[in-house]
Amino acid sequence: MKNKLRLGCKATVKGFKNENDNTKRLLEMGITPGITLYVLHTAPFGGGYIVKVRDYLVAIRASELLNIEFEK
């Protein structure tokens, strides 16, 4: 699946492509299958993203965002 996440878009989490320590952490922080993510901000130099999930903001790196599998 092409993972083209742009600013302002939203997507529903399906799962994770690879399981690792970071995915465990993301799950604990509420990024679970079925939940909707909103991509709100991006850092300069293509660093990371700030996403809104469960009504709060969390900053994650691009690599972590790309590891999330989204529906459709």
Partner 1 sequence: MNILLVGNPNCGKTTLFNILTGGKQYVGNWPGVTVEKKEGNLQIKNQSFKIYDLPGIYSLEPNTLEQKITKNFLGETKNSIIVNVIDATNLERSLYLTFQLLKEKIPMIIALNMSDELVKKGMVIDLDRLSNVLGVPVISISAFKNSGISDLKSLIIKNKATISSYSVKCANCKGCIYSEKIYDEIDSLINLCVKKTKNSKIDYSEKIDKVLLNKYLSIPFFLLIMYSVFWVTFGDFTSSISDYIGLFLENQFKTYLTFLLNFLNAPSYIHSLFIDGIIPGVLMIFVFLPQITVLFILMSFLEYSGYMTRVAFIMDKLFSYFGLGGSSFIPMLMGFGCSVPAIMSCRILPSEKDRKLTIMLMPFISCNARLPVYALFAGVLFERQKGAVVFSIYLLGIFVALIVALILSKTMFKKDSNGFIMEIPPYRLPTLKNIIIQAWEKVRGFLIKAGTLLLIASVIVWIVKTYTITFAIADSPENSIIAMFGKIISPIFIPLGFGDWRSATALLIGIPAKEMIVSSLSMLSDTTGNQDLFYQYVKNSFSLKSAYSFMAFSLLYMPCLSTIITMFKELNSKRLAVFSLALSFFTAYAVSFIIYNFL
Minimum distance of partner 1 from residue 8's CB (angstroms): 11
Minimum distance of partner 1 from residue 20's CB (angstroms): 8
Minimum distance of partner 1 from residue 2's CB (angstroms): 22
CA nearest to 68, candidates 23, 38, 2 = 23
Q: Which residues bind partner 1 (CB under 8 A)?
A: 7, 21-22, 24-30, 32-33, 35, 40-48, 50, 54-61, 64
- Where b means 16+ CB within 10 Å and e means fewer, 44-57 reads eeeebbebebeeee
